[in-house]
């Protein structure tokens, strides 16, 4: 079992199971095991865990750790997530071995008592991606923040203070401040990434007119495409509940510009 938090209460440990298969969102994660012995053959057991890629090659292998087997035991220890792990699917393989006096992680088949596996994934959350490229993420605030807000964040004396100011800005917009999950933050940057993936032209998608409208208002109810035979121009018409936006590709290379209304100055607001 993966565990996200361990808390000691009255000489006992309270654990918080982590039920998701995606470990990309967590900096700290623990492995939780329960050991059972049908017959009292050993007083202790050695544990080795491996992070294995789909080709059954080790990405990480721990050293041996020895645990007592007196009565049934609950065991937990931190899982090392190598920095080298790329996005993708992996297996956590935990092997119980006959006790030895070595910390060597290598072992032979004859030493194996039991093996357990669990699949997991590494997929970074939006918040991790946003904070990895903080300066760019601050520039992308233009559809939710005023220039004075952006200037205040950028004028921070050091990177840590800049990050703090950035997170404080989003905390003020959090519709559920009592929880860790900030719906406004997640929705906004999901729209930014969608715009980058779908509206890129000569510039990144979030900077285009379609990207701007999408980030502020979200996906339209319907999209219509039209072509003008005489002008050889393509149009996209985005229909929302009570408004319509028309974009024109003047160049013929997918560089759609807002035609109607001629300007758009609204800010994003979580709805």
> What pLDDT digit, counting tens, does each position of 153-206 carry?
999 999 999 999 999 999 999 999 988 889 999 999 999 999 999 999 889 999
Task: Identify the domain boundary among 68, 103, 122.
Answer: 122
User: Could you read off the pLDDT of 72-112 as tens digits, one per residue?
Assistant: 677 777 777 666 678 789 999 999 899 887 878 889 999 99
Longest Cα–Cα distance of the chain, Å, equals 89
Q: Are residues 111 and 143 in the same domain?
A: no
User: Could you read off the pLDDT of 122-142 as tens digits, one per residue?
Assistant: 876 788 788 888 999 999 999
Helix count and strand count (H, E) for the chain: 6, 13
CATH of residue 73: 2.60.40
In a domain, 156, yes or no: yes
Q: Are residues 68 and 146 in the same domain?
A: no
Rounded Cα gap, residues 115 and 49, in angstroms: 10
The alpha carbon of 122 is separated from its chain's Cα centroid by a whole number of angstroms, namely 8
Overall domain count for the chain: 2
Domain membership of residue 88 as a residue range: 2-122
Task: Name residue 2's beta-bridge partners.
Answer: 31
CA distance between the termini of the chain: 37
Q: Which two tokens stand for residue 104?
A: 């060597």
Contact 128, 79 (CB under 8 A): no
Peptide bond between residue 118 and the one before it cis (omega within 30 degrees of 0): no
In a domain, 191, yes or no: yes
Task: Identify the domain boundary among 95, 122, 149.
Answer: 122
Q: Are residues 40 and 78 in the same domain?
A: yes
Short-list 162, 181, 180, 182, CA closest to 172: 182
Rounded Cα gap, residues 228 and 48, in angstroms: 67
User: Could you read off the pLDDT of 21-80 as tens digits, one per residue?
Assistant: 877 766 677 888 877 776 667 888 899 999 999 999 999 898 888 888 776 677 777 777
Pairing of strands 44-52, 58-61: antiparallel
Rounded Cα gap, residues 164 and 138, in angstroms: 12
**Residue 57 CA neighbour count, 13 Å, CB half:** 3
Sheet containing strand 73-78, edge to edge, reads 12-17, 2-9, 30-35, 73-78
């Amino acid at each position: 079992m993966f565990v996200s938090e361990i808390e000691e209460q009255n000489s006992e440990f309270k654990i918080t199971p982590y039920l998701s298969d995606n470990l990309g969102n967590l900096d700290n994660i623990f492995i939780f095991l329960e050991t059972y012995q049908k017959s009292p053959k050993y007083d202790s057991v050695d544990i080795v865990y491996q992070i294995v890629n789909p080709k059954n090659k080790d990405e990480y292998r721990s050293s041996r750790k020895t645990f007592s087997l007196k009565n049934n035991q609950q065991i937990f220890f931190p899982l090392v997530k190598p920095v080298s792990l790329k996005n993708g699917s992996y297996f956590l393989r935990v092997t119980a071995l006959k006790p030895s006096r070595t910390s060597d992680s290598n072992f032979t088949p004859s030493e194996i008592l039991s093996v357990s596996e669990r699949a997991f994934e590494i997929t970074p959350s939006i918040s991790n991606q946003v904070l990895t490229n903080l300066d760019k993420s601050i520039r992308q605030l233009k559809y939710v923040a005023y220039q004075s807000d952006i200037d205040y964040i950028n004028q921070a004396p050091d990177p840590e203070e800049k990050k703090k100011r950035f997170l404080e800005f989003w905390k003020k917009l959090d519709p559920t401040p009592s929880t860790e999950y900030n719906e406004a933050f997640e929705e906004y940057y999901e729209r930014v990434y969608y715009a980058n993936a779908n509206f890129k032209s000569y510039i990144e998608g979030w900077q285009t007119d379609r990207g701007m409208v999408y980030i502020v208002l979200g996906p339209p109810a319907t999209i219509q495409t039209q072509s003008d035979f005489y002008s050889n121009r393509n149009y996209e018409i985005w229909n929302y509940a009570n408004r319509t936006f028309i974009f024109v590709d003047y160049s013929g290379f997918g560089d759609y510009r807002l035609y109607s209304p001629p300007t758009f100055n609204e800010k994003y607001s979580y709805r």
